[in-house]
């Protein structure tokens, strides 16, 4: 492409700055990107190349000179002791070789060594520890000042509140907050069920979770962290990045699970290739490999530009995509009645597995991407987990493609549908598809935990007319079960025993299983602990619901509305008639001495019973269970290989019980 004239370059630079700034705001401030990283990086590279070719057009406020996004008004500002820089990145192996050659030239025949680490696609975070204690957590922000998200970070299970061993008096730890792939998949399934827009990728889900104003919501998202470096460090630094990793591990900080080594450009390129093959097995999403000079004194000598260090570069992998045919768009009905369009694809192999279906989320998503039945489409996996249709290859159309329209009636039961926000919903409460999904969820492990009542059997029972609502589970008879295909005497007996045992499950499991909008495991526990019985909850006002810390306006309104619905009240009465525990049995198991009343417990280490069982014992005896040790903690139950929580308890003088002492205290 011929070089642009000065006036054309000026016009294009102005245009690019506006485009890049717009997408920067969407990515960093809104956590809602509209284009891929590859497209964004291409725009930014074009802008940087034009500014390099026309130095008089370079301005201090250009996006090429900025780091990250601006701090948000909702959070207190937190100034980094040492600024957080970003990394130069490339998609080109040749540019990686040029980087290695530049480092070798700067080293002037001194021995150099590189580390190659996974580039975790998360939210950059800086933790400040003083005398080993976590005192502040801040996002990158503009590189100089970020958002103080300490309270939310305190809820992340694998971040120690106090470092082990003997860390420096003051140290900034740099890393990434991420959402594990499995949690990301579950979260998007739940959002689809509720008619909410899906998260584009784990990074956006993690950012949205970390920026929740309520730490209780952040805690429910099950975030995790991984660390790769430091900022401020009082005292003498170790000689190499490898030594920093070893120290961070000794302090109890999670670090990258795989770090490769290389000494020249060929071995660096080979390490990048190797990292690309193994990255699909990591628990976090990765979008590249980071190449760093290992020697810390050489890092200091080579320094940085205004934006990025000269001693490191990020190689970004091209998104793994595949072309295939969009054979059809079907509609799936969820347990809340939400109609979700699903792409039926000609099977294609991408990111380690064969993909034949992909959710399209909602009608607006299909229209935005202009997807048509019969299109040739590009497929990739969001977060390397969830198959996603990226775009239609419109130049491949031959005129036979069909525009998709959402059905005017429910594809399962034929009832009418109505629109709520971006979601279409079935108006019938007796829709077979909804019944199946509701029963599957009610019987699942996170709810009533009815062993043997899985998806396939629920489908059989619904199709046979044996299950038409959740309460019908408790009317099943052995003779009817034995009439089903592949159902033997032993399987039928075991299922009926599991169903009978579920009647006495604690109230929180029933609340979670009922499918009340927005109510999950954590909020179900909080509701059960606060109201004690289902009847008390059913008569609660929105104001009394809002008195619970984890319940917000939307959830309070949804819970109150659910208990005003006559069909839901009929279900509750039916379950009462089948002798399910509505909370009264929970109270009946509480000893008259209420021996753990006014106690707050933290569990740590490996126990012979599950943490769930131990927590149930504590709650049943009037105590509370929390996730982190604080001055409000009254007891710590410590099993084998207990970690930082145990050390913090010792420092605060909190009583620590082993399992034997715990059983003696509780009579368990």
Q: What is the pLDDT of residue 142?
A: 84
DSSP state of 28: I
For domain 6-65, the CATH architecture is Orthogonal Bundle (1.10)
CATH H-level, domain 432-586: superfamily:
5' to 3' exonuclease, C-terminal subdomain (1.10.150.20)
What is the per-residue pLDDT for 48? 77
- 238 burial (CB, 10 Å; 0-12 / 13-18 / 19+) is middle
The C-alpha atoms of residue 170 and residue 82 are separated, in whole angstroms, by 12
In the prediction, which pLDDT does 18 show? Answer: 78
pLDDT for 71 equals: 46
Q: Which residue has the tokens 């390490």?
A: 271
Ranges under pLDDT 50 in the chain: 31, 67-68, 71-72, 588-592
Question: Following DSSP, what letter does each residue of 307-371 receive, concatenated?
Answer: SSBTTEEEEEPPP--EEEEEEEEEEEE-TT-EEEEEEEEEEEEETTEEEEEEE--SHHHHHHHT-
* CA–CA separation, 25 and 33 (whole Å): 9
Q: Name the CATH superfamily for 590-666.
A: BRCT domain (3.40.50.10190)
Please give the CATH number for the structural domain made up of 322-425. Answer: 2.40.50.140
- Options 3.30.470.30, 3.40.50.720, 3.30.470.20, 3.40.50.1820; which CATH number does 77-187+196-316 get? 3.30.470.30
Q: Where are the domains of the chain?
A: 6-65, 77-187+196-316, 322-425, 432-586, 590-666
What pLDDT is stored for residue 590 in this prediction?
Answer: 46
In angstroms, the CA 124 to CA 598 distance is 39
pLDDT value, residue 233: 94
Coil, strand or helix at 387: strand
d(CA 658, CA 614): 12
Q: What is the pLDDT of residues 225-277, one digit of tens each?
A: 999 999 999 988 899 999 999 999 999 999 987 899 999 999 999 999 999 88
Q: How far apart are the first and last CA of the chain?
A: 78
- What's residue 200's pLDDT? 66
pLDDT at residue number 179: 85
Question: What is d(CA 626, CA 216) in angstroms, rounded to the nearest whole number?
Answer: 11
The count of residues in the chain is 668
Please give the positions annotated as active site: 119
- Nearest Cα to 155, choosing from 607, 545, 622, 549? 549
pLDDT at 27: 58
What pLDDT, on the 0 to 100 scale, is given for residue 315?
A: 94
pLDDT value at position 265?
A: 93
Distances (CA, A) of 386 to 168, 205, 383, 437: 42, 13, 7, 20
* pLDDT score of 588: 47
Percent of the chain with pLDDT over 70: 88
CA distance 470 to 64: 57
pLDDT at 632: 80
User: Contact at 8 Å (CB) between 175 and 227?
Assistant: yes
């Amino acid at each position: 492409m011929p070089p642009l004239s000065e006036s054309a370059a000026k016009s294009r630079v102005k245009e690019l700055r506006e485009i890049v700034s717009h997408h920067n705001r969407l990515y960093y401030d809104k956590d809602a990107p509209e284009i891929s990283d590859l497209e964004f990086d291409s725009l930014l590279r074009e802008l940087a190349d034009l500014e390099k070719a026309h130095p008089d057009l370079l301005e201090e406020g250009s996006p090429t000179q900025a780091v990250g996004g601006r701090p948000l008004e909702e959070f207190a500002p937190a100034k980094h002791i040492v600024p957080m820089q970003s990394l130069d990145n490339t998609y080109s192996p040749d540019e990686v070789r040029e980087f290695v050659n530049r480092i070798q030239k700067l080293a002037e025949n001194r021995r150099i060594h590189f580390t190659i680490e996974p580039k975790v696609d998360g939210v950059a975070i800086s933790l400040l520890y003083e005398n080993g204690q976590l005192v502040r957590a801040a996002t990158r922000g503009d590189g100089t000042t970020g958002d103080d998200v300490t309270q939310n970070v305190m809820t992340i299970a694998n971040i120690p509140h106090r470092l082990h061993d003997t860390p420096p008096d003051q140290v900034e730890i740099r890393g990434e907050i991420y959402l594990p792939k499995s949690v990301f998949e579950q979260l998007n399934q739940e959002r689809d069920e509720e008619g909410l827009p899906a998260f584009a990728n784990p990074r956006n889900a993690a950012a949205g979770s970390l920026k929740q104003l309520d730490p209780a919501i952040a805690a429910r998202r099950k975030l995790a962290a991984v660390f790769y470096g430091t900022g401020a460090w009082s005292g003498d630094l170790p000689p190499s990045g490898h030594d920093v990793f070893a120290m961070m591990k000794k302090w109890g900080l999670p670090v990258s699970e795989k770090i490769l080594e290389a000494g020249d450009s060929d071995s660096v390129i080979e390490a990048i290739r190797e990292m690309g093959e193994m990255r699909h097995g990591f628990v976090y999403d990765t979008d590249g490999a980071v190449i760093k000079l290992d020697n810390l004194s050489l890092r200091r000598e080579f320094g940085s530009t205004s934006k990025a260090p000269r001693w490191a570069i990020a190689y970004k992998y091209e998104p793994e995509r595949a072309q295939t045919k969009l054979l059809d768009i079907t509609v799936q009905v969820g347990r809340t009645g939400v109609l979700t369009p699903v792409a039926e694809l000609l099977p294609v192999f991408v990111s380690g597995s064969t993909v034949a279906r992909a959710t399209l989320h909602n009608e607006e998503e299909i229209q935005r991407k202009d997807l048509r039945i019969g299109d040739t489409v590009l497929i990739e996996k969001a977060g390397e987990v969830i198959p996603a249709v990226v775009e239609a290859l419109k130049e491949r159309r031959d005129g036979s493609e069909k525009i998709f329209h959402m059905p005017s009636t429910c594809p399962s039961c034929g009832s009418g549908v109505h629109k709520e926000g971006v979601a279409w919903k079935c108006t019938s409460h007796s829709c077979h598809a909804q019944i199946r999904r509701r029963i599957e969820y009610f019987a699942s492990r996170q709810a009533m935990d009815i062993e043997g009542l899985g998806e396939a059997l629920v489908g059989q029972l619904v199709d046979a007319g044996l299950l038409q609502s959740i309460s019908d589970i408790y009317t099943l008879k052995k003779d009817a079960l034995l009439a089903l295909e592949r159902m033997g005497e032993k399987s039928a007996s075991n299922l009926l025993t599991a169903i009978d045992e579920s009647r006495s499950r604690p109230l929180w499991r029933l609340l979670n299983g009922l499918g009340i909008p927005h109510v999950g495991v954590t909020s179900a526990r909080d509701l059960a602990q606060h109201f004690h019985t289902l009847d008390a909850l059913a008569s609660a006002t929105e104001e009394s619901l809002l008195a619970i810390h984890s319940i917000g306006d939307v959830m309070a309104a949804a819970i109150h509305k659910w208990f005003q619905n006559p069909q839901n009240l009929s279900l509750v009465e039916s379950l009462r008639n089948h002798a399910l525990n509505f909370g009264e049995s929970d109270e009946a198991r509480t000893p008259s001495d209420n021996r753990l009343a006014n106690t707050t417990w933290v569990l740590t280490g490996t126990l012979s019973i599950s943490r769930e069982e131990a927590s149930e014992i504590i709650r049943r005896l009037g105590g509370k269970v929390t996730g982190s040790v604080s001055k409000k903690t009254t007891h710590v139950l410590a099993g084998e290989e207990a970690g930082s929580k145990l050390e913090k308890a010792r420092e605060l003088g909190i009583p620590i019980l082993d399992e034997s002492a715990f059983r003696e205290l509780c009579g368990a």
